[in-house]
Chain A
Amino acid sequence: MKILVAVKRAIDYNVKARPKSDGSGVELANVKMSMNPFDEIAIEEAIRLQEAGKAQEILAVSIGSAQCQETLRTAMAMGADRGILVQTDEEVQPLAVAKLLQALVNKEQPGLVILGKQAIDDDSNQTGQMLAGLLGWAQGTFAAKLDVQSETLEVKREVDGGLQTLSLKLPAVVTADLRLNEPRYVKLPNIMKAKKKPLDIVTPSELGVDISPRLKLVKAAEPAARAGGVKVADVQELVAKLRNEAKVI
């Protein structure tokens, strides 16, 4: 089986995101970017399936600017066999990403697609679901555990009430949640080897996909600063404040 894993280059999780002063988006100039942490988990899972003999090839796909090659190299240093970059400097929104991935799935015919459940930059949490819909495949989102059989796939999902187990028919789309695994450290020699692994570059138009945005960003702003708390003397004062000032009771 071939596994396709989508990896996004996103603002690093250590970086405190800051809106641009004109509110047109998040400041990204010279800010550290790295692989979306949920996508790292997705790659790790694919590698573990390969190490367990359940997959033959891992294909990492990224969509975006030329710098996404670095993200693909990281995926390959972790263990992916090859990479494809769909290169564009345009903004790509979840539906466009799903359509681009659909086109690549049709071309590459993987038996399983693993994505992060969401990217930590826009927190959309849409691509996996849209991709499954477009492909007409089964989907197992927020995966905490995978068990791949020859024709089926058992997915333990993180849901509000606990864990839900689904049995899916392959091929399927899975999105990785935090507890699926803990990604490995990348080793130095593997970074060197990854530089020699194949990386193909295609464009959205070569895949025949229209990526024009359908959503408009109105404004990026910092959340309002939290007002300082106050200490109350007793329950009466608390109730009075909740009623008269906070107006919540």
Chain B
Amino acid sequence: MEREAMEFDVVIVGGGPAGLAAAIRLKQLATEHGHELSVCVLEKGSEIGAHTLSGAVFEPRALDELLPDWKTLGAPLNTPVTEDRFLFLTEKRAFRLPTPPPMHNHGNYIVSLGNVCRWLAQQAEALGVDIYPGFAAAEVLYHPDGSVKGVATGDMGRTKAGEEGANFAPGMELHARQTIFAEGCRGSLTKTLFERFQLRSGVDPQVYGIGIKELWEVKPDQHLEGLVSHTIGWPVDQATYGGSFLYHLENNLVAVGYVLGLNYSNPYLSPFDEMQRFKTHPAIRETFSGGRRVSYGARAISAGGFQSIPKLTFPGGMLVGDTAGFLNLPKIKGSHTAMKSGMTAAEAVFELLRVDDKIGREAVDYPHRLKNSWLWDELYRVRNIKPAFHWGLWVALGYGALDTLVLRGKAPWTFRHTPDHTSLKPAAQCKPIDYPKPDGQLTFDKLSSVFLSNTNHEENQPCHLTLKDAGVPVRLNLAVYAGPEQRYCPAGVYEFVEESGQQSLRINAQNCVHCKTCDIKDPSQNIDWVTPEGGGGPNYPNM
């Protein structure tokens, strides 16, 4: 079938901090040099920010470089961090620990990253960037010489069976001289690029965490605007990598979240229930008493850091932001590095495009520029902190202190990562975890939580959670691992149901909050997350 095509100089896939920073930087350079440059941003969410979920404590370093007058431009960085707390929890008690140096947040701001993106999008549009929310890039297009030609948006209006429905509208081709992939953690197109261009050969596998977040409106007497608090320890054991955040924003809003390393080994573990249980800790629960939960969401994050950074460029395009994996884990921040990578890519792309009109060139200057920037240095220094958690929490904290304070990241060794989907132990070797029942006040079940994420997908469309082998869920996942997808999915998408003695996997794809955990954690990598119809997924406000 013939699809319509549109031509741009640069197409950017994904309207998060990385993609928008790239778009802004490109237009700034074009204006500076008096060049015409058409830049288009595609975003699968129904609007910019709809799929953006982060803590978030925001380090303004990259923003200072991109838009130095962000204050006068009205950037929603309204809450400077006033205090850092770092706590170790046991079941009943909380111990204040010295805040590790990377987690000092003086000069940073507590923000809603979704709102920061909404604002960045306004700045980009004012510079002439075409932003198209509600359109998912579903396919990478190639020139006959194998270089990337652009992307195609997904078809709209296909029925569940894959046929053209009454309102069917075929996808569009967007051709570009350079395509920048800014899909965020575990991008579905990036995954195909990794394979096609062997971008991961010679680097460590990417490792991940899942972050689950709620936004609360708390009683004014429980609110301490500017307070940033992190915990480690309970409710997870010291072999499991996990910790919480609690950020006090403006207007009595508190963001609370739990991040869990996806290299956990007990298939009975449920990140969602750990998050719920965490809130019941005596040192934590008071914050929420009398408050109300106003939003919920979840998203995977790339945690591999330096040794997992793939080759970033290929003929016709490149990777920026968390789809490449620039998160600084000890800092638990990635939006400043995401933005910096987008800006750096933009500078390399602009240099490339102003020289000539050749298609399919590779912006090799982008990784060079990145290696000479603060981003590279920052990630290099902290590269051994996350892998040290392999030895458990206490060793890791000790090593972290040694590495940060004494070695200053200059140790002559680099620890390696192993992929998260290989870490599950058979259920028979593990103890089931008995999670407390939700009380409906402080703790909740998955469905009422997903309800608050404003998630929706057109019901009559092909399932976007595809299985390579439909037999694997029952044969392997259920038989050996007790069906871990029922527990790691924070949105209740996966359910094993029994009908006349036969177990089968039901996939409630409409609930999917696009966190990508299933694509990462499925033991045999049988689940392939592909983009649903554009506009589907969560509609996060203020997340």
**Residues on A close to B: CB < 8 A?**
12, 14-16, 18, 21, 27, 29-32, 34, 182-189, 191-192
Contacts and interface: CB of A to CB of B under 8 A. Distances in A.
B130 A16 contact: no
A67 B452 CA distance: 25
B457 to A, nearest CB: 10
B46 interface: yes
Nearest to B219: A21
Interface in B1-30: 4, 6
10 shortest interchain CB distances as A-B pairs? A185-B169, A185-B156, A14-B456, A31-B541, A14-B454, A188-B172, A32-B539, A30-B542, A14-B539, A15-B454
B142 interface: no
Interface of B: 4, 6, 46-47, 49-50, 112, 114-115, 118, 130, 132, 134-135, 153, 156-157, 166-167, 169, 172, 174, 217, 252, 294, 451-452, 454-456, 539, 541-542
Contacts of B135: 188
Contacts of B166: 182
A182 B379 CA distance: 51
A12 B112 contact: no
A30 B134 CA distance: 17
21 contacts: A12-B46, A12-B539, A14-B46, A14-B455, A16-B451, A16-B454, A18-B294, A21-B217, A29-B541, A30-B49, A30-B112, A30-B541, A32-B47, A183-B167, A184-B169, A185-B169, A187-B4, A188-B172, A189-B4, A189-B6, A192-B130
Given A16-B454, A32-B539, A188 B132 contact: yes
B114 A30 contact: yes
Given A30-B112, A32-B50, A185-B156, A15 B541 contact: yes
A188 B153 contact: yes
Main secondary structure, interface of B, reads mixed
Contacts of B46: 12, 14, 32, 34
A27 B174 CA distance: 37
A189 B8 CA distance: 12
A30 B115 CA distance: 7
A76 to B, nearest CB: 15
A34 B132 CA distance: 15
Contact of A185 (B167, B451, B456): B167
Given A29-B541, A183-B167, 5 more contacts: A12-B454, A14-B455, A15-B454, A15-B541, A16-B452
B311 to A, nearest CB: 31
Contact of A15 (B114, B169, B539): B539
Nearest to A29: B542
A187 B252 CA distance: 41
Contacts, number: 60
Contacts of B167: 182-185
Nearest to B166: A182
B121 to A, nearest CB: 12
Given A16-B451, A30-B112, A185 B541 contact: no
Contacts of A29: 541-542
Given A14-B455, A191-B132, A32 B169 contact: no
A15 B452 CA distance: 8
B417 to A, nearest CB: 36
Contacts of A182: 166-167
Nearest to B174: A188
Contacts of B456: 14
Contacts of B50: 32
**Which of A12, A14, A21, A184 counts the most B-chain CB atoms under 10 A from its CB?**
A14
**Which of A184, A185, A189 counts the most B-chain CB atoms under 10 A from its CB?**
A185
Nearest to B291: A21
Nearest to B456: A14
Contacts of A21: 217, 252
**Which of B50, B153, B452, B541 counts the most A-chain CB atoms under 10 A from its CB?**
B541
A185 B157 contact: yes
Contacts of A34: 46
Contacts of B114: 30
Nearest to B170: A187
Nearest to A228: B440
Contacts of B174: 188
Contacts of A184: 167, 169
A182 B172 CA distance: 21
A182 B454 CA distance: 22
Given A15-B539, A29-B542, A188 B6 contact: yes
Contact of A32 (B115, B452, B454): B454
A200 to B, nearest CB: 21
B309 to A, nearest CB: 33
Contacts of B217: 21
Contacts of A31: 541
A166 to B, nearest CB: 27
A31 B538 CA distance: 12
Nearest to B452: A16
A189 to B, nearest CB: 6
Contact of B118 (A16, A30, A185): A30
A23 to B, nearest CB: 13
A145 to B, nearest CB: 16
A21 B293 CA distance: 12
Contacts of B172: 187-189
Contacts of A14: 46, 454-456, 539
Contacts of B112: 30
Contacts of A27: 294
Contacts of A188: 6, 132, 135, 153, 172, 174
B542 to A, nearest CB: 5
Contacts of B115: 30
A180 to B, nearest CB: 14
Contacts of A189: 4, 6, 172
Nearest to A182: B167
A69 to B, nearest CB: 12
Nearest to B172: A188
A32 to B, nearest CB: 5
Contacts of B130: 192
A189 B156 CA distance: 15
**Which of B50, B174, B455, B539 counts the most A-chain CB atoms under 10 A from its CB?**
B539
Nearest to A18: B294
B174 to A, nearest CB: 8
Contacts of A186: 134
A238 B18 CA distance: 61
